[in-house]
Amino acid sequence: MTSRLSTDFGDARVWHPTGSRSNFNLVYIGLGILNLATIVAALFVAHLVIEELNDRTTEARLWDQRQELIHDLASQSRAIFEPANDVFQSMDASAERARAVALTAAFEANLPKVLKALDHLDDSDADQIEAGDLQSRIEALARYVRQGQILALAVMDSFEKGDQARAGQLMAKSDKLASHTDDLVHAINDSMTAQFLHELEQSGSKVQAFRYSLALFCSMVIVLVFGATVYGLNVSRLLKTHVEERDRQFQEIEQREQWLAEKNAALGTA
């Protein structure tokens, strides 16, 4: 009877998808590793963004401080030449003398702050060239200011002595020096702009690295989503196949039970 059962119904073997299950386990582990790598990449990109933002904020604050200091220094350098002209209107040589001395003192007090601010520039060779050029121009500006003070005091002395012709000649020299000072101030502003653009160009490498990191992160996210989608579709297909195989086996079992019942009934009748 056993051979008859095998002939009529075949062997009822249970389906075990061991090979497919093993492959899917490997895929699942791979997706898990990729998920962790994506999280690490996201944290790294976030770190780069925060670091770049902090660097840009610090750099902008330093440049604002430098611009403000140099602007004040330039304004003071121009103001020092004013008493030599204003004395011919105010007719008060002593007051204009005190004003010239006070303006020069304010300039001298501000000068070390400007030079110290330039020490915070980067240490690359190009930056040292730009910073050295800027520093030399500021030092030249200081020399012009000191010469302007000497001329202003000489104008006051000549004016107090009643030698207005001599005072006028000295005032003309002071005006000429003031013109050179204005040209030097424009050159200093140009140097500051060139230095700022140079630092922006150097920061471009960091921005490029950030772009590469962001592109890598986006690629990992795309691969993760694609892998999860493929994995889900394959799992769904595998489950569907497993359910169909289980239903087929249940049908075979029901048919076999029905066949056995019919055989038992036939044997009982006989």
pLDDT tens for the 270 residues of the chain, in order:
444 444 444 444 444 445 555 666 777 777 778 777 777 777 777 777 787 778 778 877 877 877 888 888 888 888 888 898 888 888 888 898 899 999 889 888 988 888 887 765 544 433 444 455 777 888 888 899 899 889 889 988 888 888 888 888 888 998 898 888 888 888 888 877 777 777 766 666 666 666 777 777 777 778 777 777 777 777 778 788 888 888 888 888 888 888 888 878 777 776
Residue 162 within a domain: yes
Residue 229 within a domain: no
Q: Give the pLDDT of residue 150.
A: 92
Residue 48 within a domain: no
Residue 224 within a domain: no
Residue 179 buriedness (CB in 10 A; 0-12 / 13-18 / 19+): exposed
Residue 216 within a domain: no
Please check whether residue 135 is in contact with residue 164, taking contact to mean a CB–CB distance below 8 angstroms. Answer: no
CA distances from 263 to 210, 256, 267 (A): 79, 10, 6
Q: Give the pLDDT of residue 20.
A: 55
Q: Give the pLDDT of residue 123.
A: 44
Number of domains within the chain: 1
**CA dist., res. 173 & res. 158, Å (int):** 14
DSSP tag of 15: P
From the centroid of its chain, how far is CA 118? 23
CATH number at residue 175: 1.20.120
Residue 145 within a domain: yes
Q: Give the pLDDT of residue 8.
A: 45
**CA dist., res. 69 & res. 109, Å (int):** 11
**CA dist., res. 107 & res. 11, Å (int):** 105
Q: Give the pLDDT of residue 21.
A: 58
Select from 74, 71, 82 the least CA-distant residue to 149: 82
DSSP-derived secondary structure for 35-84:
HHHHHHHHHHHHHHHHHHHHHHHHHHHHHHHHHHHHHHHHHHHHHTTHHH
DSSP tag of 124: S
Q: Which residue has the tokens 């595998």?
A: 238
pTM beyond 0.85: the answer is no
Q: Give the phi and the psi of residue 123 in degrees, each rounded to 5.
A: -100, 10
Residue 46 within a domain: no
From the centroid of its chain, how far is CA 143? 40
Q: Please, what is the end-to-end C-alpha distance for the chain in angstroms? A: 17
Q: How many CB atoms lie within 10 A of CB 65?
A: 14
Structure tokens at 85: 């002209």
Query: Helices 82-90 and 93-118: crossing angle, nearest 10°?
Result: 160
Q: Give the pLDDT of residue 237.
A: 80
Q: Give the pLDDT of residue 132.
A: 57
**CA dist., res. 17 & res. 250, Å (int):** 18
What is the domain extent for residue 110?
A: 60-203
Residue 77 within a domain: yes
Please check whether residue 192 is in contact with residue 70, taking contact to mean a CB–CB distance below 8 angstroms. Answer: yes
